[in-house]
Amino acid sequence: MSLKVSPLAPAAFPAMPPLAGLEVTTGACGLKYRDRTDVCVMVFDPGTTVAGVLTRSLTASAPVLWCREALSQGSARALVVNSGNANAFTGAAGTGSVERTVGAVVDLIGCAPEEVFIASTGVIGEPLPDDRLTSALADLAKLLRTDAWPEAAAAIMTTDTYPKGATRSTEINGTQVTINGIAKGSGMIAPDMATMLSFIATDAALPSAVLQSLLTQANERTFNSITVDGDTSTSDTLLLFATGKADNQAISSAEDPALTAFREALEDLLQDLAIQVVRDGEGASKFVTIDVSGAETPSAARRIGLAIGNSPLVKTAVAGEDPNWGRIVMAVGKAGERADRDRLSIQIGGIEVAKNGWVVPGYDETPVAAHMKGQDIDIAVDVGVGEGAARVWTCDLGHGYIDINADYRS
Amino acid sequence: MSLKVSPLAPAAFPAMPPLAGLEVTTGACGLKYRDRTDVCVMVFDPGTTVAGVLTRSLTASAPVLWCREALSQGSARALVVNSGNANAFTGAAGTGSVERTVGAVVDLIGCAPEEVFIASTGVIGEPLPDDRLTSALADLAKLLRTDAWPEAAAAIMTTDTYPKGATRSTEINGTQVTINGIAKGSGMIAPDMATMLSFIATDAALPSAVLQSLLTQANERTFNSITVDGDTSTSDTLLLFATGKADNQAISSAEDPALTAFREALEDLLQDLAIQVVRDGEGASKFVTIDVSGAETPSAARRIGLAIGNSPLVKTAVAGEDPNWGRIVMAVGKAGERADRDRLSIQIGGIEVAKNGWVVPGYDETPVAAHMKGQDIDIAVDVGVGEGAARVWTCDLGHGYIDINADYRS
């Protein structure tokens, strides 16, 4: 199945600088797709630390279970990602597949097994032909480069219509550091957590516990604040690797003020990638930003925002360019968080539509309908009970989603 | 917008017998629709008791708030339902509209205000032109009949493509009693609770507390076990009226063994109506029955069933006639209930697809794919951790849903 590039795609893949201590390569192993790359390998210098956030699915894939174990020791030497087959719900064979892949990497670069991270994405329930991957590893290792980020982002795609990358330059105590990241969506995108796969790397020197704290916080307001279809993958994996080559001053706590700029840059980069995932939501034709304010807490605001962003009735209204704010009211009501129906206010495209629980006097739908015809839709809701605020991103639900998902396996 | 009758519709509306102590009439008040009935009035004899289940939405409509109050006293003399306008999110005007409608009924039949029940369904956020309704009431009252059930079922429709009715005959301590019911869907159909509007009446003599207990229990396994799109209406209302004219032996407890047959008949009738609502799900082309077993508790099983039934990826696979059981695994994983990935079994159309956490040896997709081409799809999942079981009903998600919902208000 060949998909047209999303109309919401960015103009170009960003220029990603090399990161000291890290090399990347990709290959076409024919795991499922023909005539395209489906494997990405990253090799990190000794001393690289790692942190991660993994799906909370109770039917998590074999690679996710492996990463959960491996993360506990905090160091990384390699990452192997394949697309086309999720190696999920493959029983003991799935575990064997992961172990053989890890073993092949250990043989090649000489590291501990738990320093090898694995991620797989694609069809569920089919055995992964890992021999095609392991037999190609030695040749792939000869092609390692520092500038293969665009190829890496392309190799991990499934129904994505464009590769997703982002880079940020920042500093820790005056030392310049770089953060690069890639991600892939684009179905089963929902919180806990929201992307299927995303891999971030930095040349900063940070202990894994600090990395983990920074990543967990940033993830909450980025990948965990987007939704495409409310479904949660068995394979969601976000990993952050730090090679330490920037040689910045040692940091021992995530609360260290020296991390302020790094923390902001990391969140900004994750938000960039998260938004790229939404903009490539299956069949998306509109990008929707939902701001919720006046909730009891920021988490309550986020849950209300996600209830709006997950509502099929709101999403089909957006697809139909219908400023149907009644459906927004409905979604607020089902979120299960406190809201004052008679103080509820709604803005669409910055235009006040409803205030204090009713449509504004003399409401003129014309400018709101004009906003709905654009590609970027802004919805703001104040639920009138507190100070909690959050921002959530989603896309519309139209015929494109049905086209893709009623025919994905064929 | 004119909609084609759902391909899953029953062959005919059932023959509904008259119920002693109850008369029905309908009218065309032009609240929104032209050239069709949009108001249904039921008048009950003195002594009629009532019970109800209402939406848990925190942005509930003015009629729902009214019913919640009125239910506390347990007796009923009239029901007024309109379609076309939900009278939801209409602030103080919405409350005024309910009060004026109640007042007009009180003037007409001479009862207490809290014996008048009101329900509205349709567009949210537009003021209800209640004068068109109240000014018609006196004329409508002249047309009350005992056999107007089909007209009543038609008058409460919005995007429904066929009227929904059901009847059951049963007995209490040897006295024959009848139960009649009508319902309307068909968007925003999701648990808590699942239908937008359903009105049930019986000639049985039962105190309101007993009615309430019976209704709450039966609702859980019927209307609260169906889903179309996971959205929850601001107007969901299920009311059960008992005129007492069957003159059965007095009952004072819902646990009375004399109620066994009545309890079963009531649940059977609610299930019939709930299934009719799903079979008229917006754009539905397939009816899906999901059986979950092996869960920790029946509620856990129902939550897993609803996670499967609400998953856009499962529902689009059904629309595409794709036996994509990997998506069922995914949905089990996101339900948040305990499941043993390595003991999980899945049957589609009675054919074992996966067992003990993996596809069955020598799996032949041919008969499963043939089952998916039918109109009635059966999915059974055993999650391998306990004895809890539940059945849930849903429909597919295809282009029809998008067609309807991207264009509902126009």
| Chain center to CA of B175 | 28
> At A195, phi and psi to the nearest 5?
-100, 160
- What pLDDT is recorded for position A130? 96
Q: Count of alpha carbons within 13 Å of B12, Cβ hemisphere only?
A: 3
Kindly tell me if the per-residue pLDDT of A189 is higher than 70. no
Average pLDDT of B129-153?
96
Query: What is the amino acid identity at position B225?
Result: S
pLDDT confidence band for B401 (50 / 70 / 90): confident
Please tell me the predicted confidence (pLDDT) of residue A231: 63
Q: Specify the higher pLDDT residue, B182 or B398.
A: B182
If you search the block for the tokens 């795991």, which residue do you land on? A31
Cβ contact (<8 Å) for A125 and B86? Answer: no
Name the pLDDT band for A312 (thresholds 50, 70, 90).
Answer: confident
Q: What is the structure's pLDDT at B404? A: 74
Interface probe for A, chosen from B56, B58, B348 (most Cβ of A below 10 Å), is B58
Report whether B206 contacts B246 (CB < 8 A).
Answer: no
Question: Domain residue spans in chain B?
Answer: 22-279, 287-405
- B276 Cβ neighbours under 8 A, 6+ residues apart: B10, B164, B166, B183
Q: B317-375: per-residue pLDDT in tens?
A: 999 999 988 889 888 988 888 988 889 999 999 999 999 888 898 999 999 999 999 99
Annotated active-site residue A297? The verdict is no
pLDDT (tens digit, 9 = 90+) per residue, B181-238? 999 986 554 433 334 799 999 999 999 999 999 999 999 889 888 876 666 677 889 9
- Determine the pLDDT at residue B230: 60
For residue B3, the model assigns a pLDDT of 65
- What does the pLDDT read at residue A263? 97
Average pLDDT, chain B: 90
Which string of DSSP letters, residue by residue, matches A19-34?
-TTEEEEEE---SS-S
CB-CB under 8 Å, B410 with A229? no
pLDDT at A193: 38
C-beta separation of B76 from B60 below 8 A: no
Residue A67: its pLDDT value, please? 97
User: Mean pLDDT, to the nearest integer, of A208-227?
Assistant: 92
CA distance A170 to chain B (A): 37
Q: How far apart are CA B318 and CA B175, in angstroms?
A: 46
Q: Mutation target for B interface from A61, A123, A159, A231: give the one with most B CBs within 10 A.
A: A231
Is the per-residue pLDDT at A232 higher than 80?
A: no
CATH superfamily of B287-405: ArgJ beta chain, C-terminal domain (3.10.20.340)
**CB contacts, 8 Å: B342 with chain A:** 91
Average pLDDT along chain A: 90
Residue of A nearest to B327 (CA): A124
For B57, the closest of A334, A397, A405 (CB atoms) is: A334
Q: What is the rounded distance in angstroms from the CA atom of residue A294 to the CA atom of residue A303?
A: 13
**Is residue A183's pLDDT more than 60?**
yes
pLDDT at position B195 is 43
Q: What confidence tens digit (pLDDT) does each residue in A37-65 have?
A: 999 999 999 999 999 999 888 778 899 99
pLDDT higher than threshold 90 for residue A292? yes
Query: Does residue B408 surpass a pLDDT of 70?
Result: no
- Domain A22-279's class? alpha beta
The pair of three-digit structure tokens given for residue A256, joined into one six-digit string: 């260290």
Catalytic residue among B48, B195, B222, B237: B195
Under DSSP, the state recorded for B151 is: H
pLDDT reported for residue A4: 81
Backbone angles phi, psi at A154, to 5 degrees: -75, -35
Nearest to B278 by CA among B397, B368, B151: B397
Strand partners, A41: A25, A80
Residues A277, A365 contacting (CB under 8 angstroms) = no
Q: What is the mean pLDDT of residues B133-141?
A: 95
Q: How confident is the model at residue B124 (pLDDT cuts 50, 70, 90)?
A: confident
Tokens of A111: 């590291």
CB-based contact A324 B408, cutoff 8 Å: yes
Flag whether B405 is marked binding.
yes
Range among A186-195, B173-182, B281-290, B353-362 rated most confident: B173-182
Mean pLDDT for B277-283 is: 85
